[in-house]
Amino acid sequence: MTQVAIGSLSDFPEGTPTRVEADGTALCIVRVGDTVHAICDDCPHAEASLSEGDFLADDMAIECPLHGSAFNLTTGDPDCPPATEAVEVFTVTVDGDSVLVDI
């Protein structure tokens, strides 16, 4: 794996999904406090951009904008059909103000 810098903490407003391209991989980034989560941005069911969906704080999940399945930010698992496949979760490191993702 390669650690890729994707920006600083201030680049990611808290609770707002943000799409980032890192080393050719589309990521959905969600910041919660000083913790930053990264999952694959492509919904495996309908290939929608998850970063266009809503962050569900109570479930720590991102909801697909097309069909309503939500994906857990720590496991990548979907909560209900029609999505049945998990999305990939990436390790994020915050070093000072820099945000790095393992790709």
pLDDT tens-digit readout, 63-98: 999 988 999 999 999 998 899 999 999 999 999 999
pLDDT at 1: 76
Burial of 91 (0-12, 13-18, 19+ CB in 10 A): exposed
Q: Are 32 and 15 in contact (CB under 8 A)?
A: yes
Determine the CATH number of domain 3-102.
2.102.10.10
- C-alpha–C-alpha distance, residues 37 and 28, integer Å: 8
